Amino acid sequence: MNSNVSLVIDGGLQIVGIIVLILGIAVFLLWKSMNRQIKKISTDLPEGPQDERIAEDEHFTEEAVIRGEEERDEDEQRT
């Protein structure tokens, strides 16, 4: 009985090693493929709706900062 268990474990280690090797190769090939696809992406794409929202948010943030500075200056002048 004990020899059967050790025989299964010894044979299983080789199978696990092969599976890990195959998975490693698959991950490497997927990584290379992904890098090739990412390099194909054009950075000259037109702005989308999300880009317009971000630009509007930046504009409102700049206005708020300016108003905050003006209010702080007014408060400093009063004291």
Q: What is the pLDDT of residue 7?
A: 63
Statement: residue 72 has pLDDT above 70: yes
Q: What is the pLDDT of residue 2?
A: 58
pLDDT digits (tens, 9 = 90+) for 23-69: 999 999 999 999 999 998 887 777 777 878 888 888 889 888 998 88
pTM: 0.47
Q: What are the boundaries of each domain within the chain?
A: 1-41, 48-79
Higher pLDDT pick, 6 / 32: 32
Q: Which amino acid is at 41?
A: I
